[in-house]
A and B are shown apart, each in its own frame.
Chain A
Amino acid sequence: MSERTVDGRADDPTTLLELPHGKGLKAPETATITKRAFTSVILFAGTAGCGKTTLLATLHLLFQQGPFAGYNFAGSDTLVGFEDRVSLTRTSSGRSTPTTPRTTVSEYLHIRVRLEDSSQPIRDVILCDLWGDDFREAKDNVDVCKELTIIKQAHRFVLLIDGGKLAISESRQSAKNDPLMLLRNCLETGMLGKKSVVDVLITKWDLIQASVEKDDVVGFVEHVEEEVRNRAKDRVARLRFARVASQATVGDFALGHGISEMFPDWVEAIWGDDVPERGDIRADGLANEFDKYYQRHLTGTAMKG
């Protein structure tokens, strides 16, 4: 166990030593997890505000209530990261309405779970909470999309479509077109392909159900799902759809509505028999490719290699 001194003399018993930070991980830090155990990597994609972070935060809240989707919580290297994402949903925040902090930097969250009957070993899962602006750029620029190689490396690509915007006539076309364009670019650049497993989540389902013109909105949602199906079927290994309300603000939806149907597959992503083999995740592959992307993006310089 390495130790870093915060202050004081090295031999002084009162000297403070650093503990693991527990925050969301940067790409290179995920190697400590992927080297330790086989790890499912789940990528959540979607434009800013569509509900990616809220969904991940909700998983943390659900496990605080009890076992979820047949699994017991078994630990996390990023408890602080999860807590940062849920703190504004608690009464202790002093807020009257819950919210989720806007993601400003892409991070990876980690969770360990185990079947409630303990019939299987503990599973490690990395949840990629990527910055919405990354996907906005990937949607608008094929070259940028090509650099998001994490899409290729993830075991599941979960595309979130903002149901709140689909429910508003003034925004629903862009709400439909943005994820469709992202999907198109991912397919065209080979980031998604015949071995890819794709889940499409219509988020904020509570707002859709509460919409004044609910039937029309639901019909539009079905149209969007059909568009996705037409674009992606026969080009990916599997396509699933779900309608979720992570933290519903209207109606009588339980916390995490719709997520329990998806979660087991995310956990077992690298263990299932019916999924085409993607090959081993390189322990440093995740770090190197994403790190290069960020180096280029942030500094304007390209890393070697």
Chain B
Amino acid sequence: MKVVEANEHNVLVMGLPQTGKTTFLAALWDVVDTQQVNGSLVLEHVEGDQQHLNTIRDLWADCQEIPRTLFGKERIVSMTLRDRESRVRSRISFPDMDGEAFERQWTDRVWPRSHKEITEGADSALLFIHPAKVKSGALIRDTQRIVALLTQMVTESAPAAEPVETPPDSGKKFTPTQVQLVEFLQFLRWAKQGRDQFRLGVIISAWDVVVKQGSTTSDKWLQAQLPMLHQYLVANREVICSRVYGVSAQGGDIKKDAARLRKKHNPSERIIVAEGSSRSSDITIPVRWVMGVTEE
């Protein structure tokens, strides 16, 4: 296994609102701080708002809901982490950015200067997707077919005329998630023009929910649920090197299973990180990969 030493590494944390970014950060803080998970990265030093980290970690550990990160209340946290095996040390920064700011990139076509600068300075990125919040953009023609099938009617008669209006800008709120995510990645590349290959970790959060619905891998889930995004990553692999991880930072539904989850003496034992057929509690795995601590 070839090891690459990285001294300074900025990880851009991307994702629409309520996709698990802050919960991931909370769990990551616990794992690197407590060193309870075998093989995980180890914390050597932290800079920035440690109170924020402690607050969200405590909420996470107690299976409490973590409040949304609000625009203007964003924080940048920097940690110096050491890989146990290679002993490589890297300083990584996580801007805990407001998901609505990413949403506005699509709807309003603007971003704050701070986001632009963070993006320009990013060395890699983690893109968060919450399975329950994916907008699929269902087509009317598909629902018509379903209705026709259910009612055994053939809907061939001319429908009542509806006005053909210019689509209002508010329609952008209903844009399918995968279209918005592709645009985010295109803005990322636009901001980093001329940059060499960039590592992107795609985090499918609340992975416990996906697992309950049937057996699949994180990559297959992405291909099935967000096919346009999957195609984009495949077609642009020379520029964006990506891996897909299924992550459950909570390990279950905190609204329904909190009592069971709290029984774990070490909350990090709840964590699920899935890649392909492998499974672990080490939430630093995606971070290690995007940092390039290990090349494989």
Q: Give me the interface of A with B, judged by CB distance under 8 Å.
A: 1, 3, 6, 12-22, 61, 63-67, 72-77, 79-80, 83-84, 87-93, 95-102, 104, 112-114, 116, 118, 122, 210, 247-250, 255
Contact = CB atoms under 8 A, between A and B. Distances in A.
Minimum-distance CB pairs A-B, first 3: A92-B174, A74-B235, A13-B114
A255 B116 contact: no
B137 interface: yes
Interface stretch (B39-47, B103-111, B212-220): B103-111
A15 B231 contact: no
B139 A17 contact: no
B141 A247 contact: yes
Contacts of A249: 141
Nearest to B145: A252
B237 interface: yes
A98 B179 contact: no
Contacts of B164: 88, 99-102
Interface of B: 72, 105, 109-114, 116-117, 137-141, 143-144, 156, 159-160, 162, 164-167, 171-172, 174-176, 178-179, 182-183, 186-187, 190-191, 193, 227-228, 231-232, 234-237
22 contacts: A14-B112, A14-B114, A17-B110, A17-B116, A64-B176, A64-B227, A67-B227, A72-B235, A74-B235, A75-B235, A77-B186, A83-B172, A87-B167, A87-B171, A88-B165, A88-B167, A89-B141, A90-B174, A96-B162, A99-B162, A101-B167, A122-B235
Contacts of A1: 190-191, 193
Nearest to A67: B231
A89 B160 CA distance: 16
A19 B109 contact: yes
A114 B235 CA distance: 6
Contacts of B174: 87, 90, 92-93
A255 B139 CA distance: 11
Contacts of B167: 84, 87-88, 93, 101
Contacts of A99: 162, 164
A99 B228 CA distance: 22
Nearest to B224: A66
A95 B167 CA distance: 12
A206 to B, nearest CB: 10
Given A14-B72, A64-B176, A113 B110 contact: no
Contacts of B139: 61, 89-91, 98, 255
B207 to A, nearest CB: 23
Contacts of A116: 234
A79 B234 contact: no
Given A83-B172, A84-B167, A15 B113 contact: yes
Given A1-B190, A3-B116, A91-B143, 11 more contacts: A18-B110, A64-B179, A74-B235, A75-B186, A75-B236, A76-B182, A84-B171, A88-B165, A92-B174, A99-B162, A247-B141
Contacts, number: 150
Contact of A92 (B171, B190, B237): B171
B190 A20 contact: yes
Given A19-B105, A113-B235, A118-B235, A92 B113 contact: no
A3 B144 CA distance: 45
B147 to A, nearest CB: 10
A3 B109 CA distance: 12
Contact of B234 (A6, A20, A21, A118): A118
B28 to A, nearest CB: 25
Contacts of B109: 18-22, 80
B135 to A, nearest CB: 8
B133 to A, nearest CB: 15
A95 B111 contact: no
A263 to B, nearest CB: 14
B186 to A, nearest CB: 6
Contact of A19 (B187, B234, B235): B187
Contacts of A67: 227, 231
A101 B116 contact: no
Contacts of A112: 235
Contacts of A247: 141
Chain A CB within 10 Å, residue with most, of B105, B140, B160, B179? B140
Contacts of A21: 109
A108 B244 CA distance: 34
A255 B137 CA distance: 15
A56 B235 CA distance: 21
A204 B79 CA distance: 60
B183 A79 contact: yes
A101 B165 contact: yes
B156 A79 contact: no
